[in-house]
Amino acid sequence: MALITSAQAAEKLGISVRRVQELIKNGRLPSQQFGRTYVVNEDDLKLIEDRRPGRPRKAAKALDEEKRIND
């Protein structure tokens, strides 16, 4: 069990530190806080490695696109 900082996690995942912080805040990436620094268990990176890239679609837009495809 190796603990790494959010900056190290971002580098390993190929995303920004801010994105790692958002994943932590949303509960998608377990972490522990030491002072002002968050640390992540390196094994927990597997939980989000297969996430979809980019910003999630808004619900209304996704429904409109699905309706267009089905028509």
**Joined tokens for residue 39:** 């640390």
Percent of the chain with pLDDT over 90: 48
**Segments of 1-71 assigned E as strands:** 3-5, 32-34, 37-41
Q: What is the CATH number of the domain that holds 43?
A: 1.10.1660
| pLDDT above 70 (res 48) | yes
- Model confidence pLDDT, tens digit, residues 36-45: 889 999 999 8
The structure's pTM equals 0.67
The count of structural domains within the chain is: 1
What is the rounded distance in angstroms from the CA atom of residue 28 to the CA atom of residue 49?
Answer: 11
| Average confidence (pLDDT) over 50-60 | 64
